[in-house]
A and B are shown apart, each in its own frame.
Chain A
């Protein structure tokens, strides 16, 4: 399963789901699904989200087989 810190990172930067969705060219429902780990984004979309949030992509997404996520 793919885990994510998109929600926490987005909220720390004061971004709404709508704003993040517009920035990366997807719908708000897609951002919601990604934040709930119900949808696995493509590599391209993951990189776009990381760029929009100004964080490395490995700090946003990781596999649950890696205990504690990446540091």
Chain B
């Protein structure tokens, strides 16, 4: 089973959008093209990866998660959320009580990066565990 033409068309437009967005933000055209190529490669690989349920009649929404993938994604998101909330609580307590100031933006950005890392690592571990 393969996705239908609407799926490939929509994903091609999305990949082009990613590349164009980077170019418009000032990135070299080569970087924009590389992002487009990577995004398109992922969209071409995803239906054949076995990671998603494939419904060709779904058109642009041909791929969907099954309950196992949804369960893993939800657990990973929960882990990221818990880490984010705890890290923010610690930082708020430290900077307000002892620092006497608000949490620096750089710290908040680091917490966001940490949250994404926890989410990605959780996904990886859960997929490996089966």
- Is the CB–CB distance between A22 and B68 below 8 Å? no
In the bound complex, CA of A27 to CA of B69 (Å): 9
Among A5-13, A29-37, A53-61, A63-71, the stretch that binds chain B is A29-37
- Measured CB to CB, the closest approach of chain B to A47, in angstroms, equals 13
Given contacts A22-B1, A33-B130, A36-B130, contact A42 B67 (CB under 8 A): yes
B8-34 interface bits toward A, Cβ cutoff 8 Å, 1 = contact, 0 = none:
000000000000000000000000000
- Is the CB–CB distance between A39 and B130 below 8 Å? yes
Kindly state whether residue B129 has any CB partner on chain A within 8 Å.
yes
Closest residue of chain A to B65, judged by CB?
A27
Number of interface residues of A (CB under 8 A): 15
- Measured CB to CB, the closest approach of chain B to A3, in angstroms, equals 15
Given contacts A22-B1, A33-B130, A39-B130, contact A27 B50 (CB under 8 A): yes
Contacts of A25 in B (CB 8 A): 53, 66
Residues of B in contact with A (beta carbons under 8 Å apart): 1, 50-53, 66-69, 71, 129-130
Residues of A in contact with B (beta carbons under 8 Å apart): 22, 25-30, 32-33, 36, 38-39, 41-42, 45
Show 30 residue pairs from A and B whose CB-CB distance is below 8 angstroms, ordered by the A residue.
Answer: A22-B1, A25-B53, A26-B53, A26-B66, A26-B67, A26-B68, A27-B50, A27-B51, A27-B52, A27-B53, A27-B68, A27-B69, A28-B50, A29-B50, A29-B68, A30-B66, A30-B67, A30-B68, A30-B69, A32-B130, A33-B68, A33-B130, A36-B130, A38-B129, A38-B130, A39-B68, A39-B71, A39-B130, A42-B67, A45-B67
